[in-house]
Amino acid sequence: MFLVCVATQGLAVLGGTLAFSLPSGWLAWPALGCFVLGLALYPIAFLRFDLGQVRSGAGEQWVAGGTLAISALAGAKLLAVPAWRGTALHDALRALTLVTLALSVCWYAVLVFAEARWPRLRYDMRRWATVFPMGMTAVATLSVADAAAVGWLRTPGQVLLWIAVTAWVLALAGLVRHLTAHSR
């Protein structure tokens, strides 16, 4: 469900990155369209999401948060478009990006609580769907800190990055243990 939003925001991230890097800024407008479309698709996906996944899911619940994180990253990339600096569009985009990041971090907190409350310690291949959104939240936080000029976000972004690296190592260790146990 959320992968449609992730794919759309992925295009916005790419378009925003290229719009900043290329001499012609025309690509910023289609990237902005993808950003807005991705945000519009999110509530539709969320309404179809089973909230019971927060307690027992193996990854989809994290993708719900990762979608918000990649949306914040897309917003950060679009904030860097030189032609929009100092405009009302830039101000609105900054506010929307900060709100999206805040929602992502709030969802992250809910999921961390759920992981502590209802631990799922057995390895499941779908747990890799946890690792990507954790990393995306860290990258989004660090990117928004710079793009939106909110320097204090760098520290939480770095903390989230180390948490994501730890989750990746744990998922890798679970995979190795799983493969070792099933190769005998």
Structure confidence by residue, pLDDT tens digits, 74-88: 999 999 998 899 999
**pLDDT of the residue at 58:** 74
Average pLDDT over residues 37-46: 97
Residue entry with tokens 């660090």? 142
Per-residue confidence at 11, pLDDT binned at 50, 70, 90? very high
Query: What is the pLDDT, as a whole number, of residue 169?
Result: 95
pLDDT at 129: 86
pLDDT for 110 beyond 90: yes
pLDDT category at 146 given cuts 50, 70, 90 is very high
Structure tokens at 168: 């990746």
Indicate the DSSP class of residue 22. S
Distance CA 179, CA 163 (A): 24
Cβ proximity of 140 and 76 under 8 Å: yes
- CA–CA dist 159, 138 (Å, integer): 8
Closest CA to 72 of 158, 165, 6: 6
pLDDT value, residue 25:
82
Distance between CA atoms of 16 and 182, rounded to whole angstroms?
44
Give the pLDDT confidence score for residue 16 in this predicted structure.
95
Output b/e per residue, 81-98; b: 16+ Cβ within 10 A. Answer: beebeeeeebeebbebbb
